Amino acid sequence: MRIISDFHDYYDVGMQNGVDPQLPYRRFRREEPVLFPRGNWKSVGNKLMVDEDYRILYFGFAGKVYPRMETSFNMTDVVEPTFCFDPTRLDDSFFVDRVKKARWTGKNLQRAVKREKVRVFEYFEFKDAPELLDLFEQFKTAIFVYQKGNNTIVINERLNLYGFQKVLPPMEAFQELAMYVGAYLTKPVIEEPPISDTIKAEIHGFDKFSFRKEKQKK
């Protein structure tokens, strides 16, 4: 695969092993309007308790969607963005800090933490929703980033700015991208060599005996 782009991303190192000029991917960043019907978010529409402290991003890459949750503060209450691609690695303290900000205490705090965890997992489970997967075909792209709540989608965003290499290493990402581009976005142009009329006829089952009658014995 040959990537034609005006910027560099972390998986471009895959081209060091050689490029296929008949398999190009034109990677130019642009923003496009997009709007999801409200009902299609199902239970994911339930707000988090401290919704302003979360940012949910969905990364479309080679036919798959990878969610990422960002928060505006970490465990030490220092204003510093943190992010997570895998909610199973988050312990309860991660949610306790956020629920406390909503002023829950005692048993109500424990119940609130459970509800918050369920809602967070719902955001990650939404990665297989048709509304997101259809964006690949709608915009004829292999890469996009969509932030929940926005009316725009970023096509061919730079993924190294979001730590996406933690999800897919460079060579694995390049291979998946090349397979997707070859299968869904690009039709290799191969010039066929000229074929004579005689060979064309033989290909279709005709030869020098096709229209001759056999001699009949007297």
pLDDT of residue 141: 96
pLDDT of residue 77: 47
Angstrom distance (rounded) from CA 189 to CA 151: 37
pLDDT of residue 170: 96
pLDDT of residue 200: 63
Residue in the structure block whose two tokens are 């308790």: 49
Angstrom distance (rounded) from CA 92 to CA 84: 14
**DSSP codes joined into one string, 72-107:** S--TT--S--EEES-GGG--HHHHHHHHHHTT--HH
pLDDT of residue 79: 46
Mean pLDDT by 10 residues, the chain (218 residues): 94 90 92 75 53 80 93 51 78 71 70 81 86 93 92 95 93 96 75 64 62 59
Quick one: DSSP state of residue 182?
I
Angstrom distance (rounded) from CA 104 to CA 67: 28
Contact (Cβ atoms closer than 8 angstroms) between residue 145 and residue 50: no
pLDDT of residue 5: 94
pLDDT of residue 45: 46
Token couple for 15: 């081209």
pLDDT of residue 76: 46
Query: 3-state class of 176 per DSSP?
Result: helix
Strand 82-84 and strand 64-71: pairing? antiparallel
Query: 3-state class of 55 per DSSP?
Result: strand
Domain residue limits, the chain: 2-185
